[in-house]
Chain A
Amino acid sequence: MSPMNRRDLVKTGGTMFVLGAASGTALFTAAANAQESVKLGLLHSLSGTIAIAEASLVDAEKMAIDEINAAGGVMGRKIEVVIEDGASENSVFAEKARKLLERDKVAAIVGCYTSASRKAVLPALSRAKGLLFYPTYYEGQEQDKHVVYTSQEATQSVVAAVEWLAREKGKTFFLVGSDYIYPRTCNKIAKPTIAKLGGKVLGEEYAPLGHTEFSSIINKIKAAKPDCIYSTVVGGSNVAFYKQLRAAGLDGTKQTLLSTVVSENEIEGIGKDNAVGYYACMGYFQSVKNPANEKFVKAFKAKYGQDRVIGDPMEVAYNSVYLWKLAVEKAKSFDPDKVLAASAGVELDAPEGKVRVHATNQHVWKKVRVGKALANGQFDIVWESPSLIEPNPFPTL
């Protein structure tokens, strides 16, 4: 062996030894850390047009995670949060879902707001056999085997709302909504319900998403003179709609307006003086009176500021983290298929009251309430469903 070869041997041998030792230590510490935490992905729009509604859900979810970690974590493991921004673009949602599931290897994702964003992440969930907890009210018509739908679907809120209106306010209806699947499905459910109660639908109008000129629709409402206006106008259009309704003299005194898509958060944007006197039907209102909700609201305001308001999707997002934890503890495993199977029948004492995951359809039994908007932006709850309402995502219409 020439001196050169021996030097090379020592050099390469030494390098390999150091690398081996380093990677061994790294693997050891990584393995040791992995024992400590479990990853939970939060996938919401933090920027873009939907951020108005969706960004606050992350705050509620983070609060739940902090509470769980402070109490010892899930099965002894602390939750490590991985937050991704869907940027109000469905393609970004799909891409980030893949990243969370395949690269970060999260145990579950809590995320999405619009149905379009949820449908965009279904392929990624199917590929990676992942699990999504979807915390937003939606139109039903879905039961993907990788999703738990933790908020009310259309039949739970629409049927109760229409029955309340027909009972309390009058039997003639005018339906107004934004032009996409949620309002159209809600109206498809509302119409036979109204007919069954002996009511009449005097008009059904749709405005494109983001539309701000409601003068023609308001004129049609005036011409028809309904007792009740059922509104599924969504997002920014609501500001224009409510302002123009008021300017036209339809301020809720001579006819009743009820919406299933307006919560305390939307009222912040619409303006409290514009929304006062109109009704909404939701599973949760910040003004619900029970010990769990008082604790929840106090903790949220203490953490994020006294000016914050809490709408239905935020409370359901908070519940979703806890429902995942309970399902994991029931399954004694983080494996998504086992957690999904175990989630059936899981019960939670949520701020809105008791919620229970359905035995077979991955939706949630819950109460709904009707509230009247007050001048301070909060809702005065005028009716609460007497018992938990069964979810029915595939109603016969």
Chain B
Amino acid sequence: MANDILIIDDEADIRELVAGILDDEGFTTRTAGDSDSASAEIASRRPDLVFLDIWLQGSRLDGLQLLEEIKRDHASLPVVMISGHGNIETAVAAIKSGAFDFMEKPFKSERLLLVATRALAQQSAAA
């Protein structure tokens, strides 16, 4: 079962925590702090799921632009958007652009795991 998850967030705390929680549950995780390193990670090995923060501070591309790039190169790769405060509208826009789902901060571990499991299961089914 595919369980390679790439987590892209500019905040190291969140990035590491999400990765840690997923690791605890047995998923394989990688992390990236900006769009360029994320692109590099994806290029090096296609992950099975991407958690992508919409707001990427200090990055060349923001979350939505990166989403478009990912979708362009890997249309079937599920991307779950993590929305910051007060920008549900952009999260909804992301869904339209092809995101699998979105989570509004702050979110609970259960929701993170549920979304991850669902996305991977769908991915596996599709594969």
Q: Do A and B bind each other?
A: no
- Chain A residues with CB under 8 Å of chain B are none
Q: Residues on B close to A: CB < 8 A?
A: none
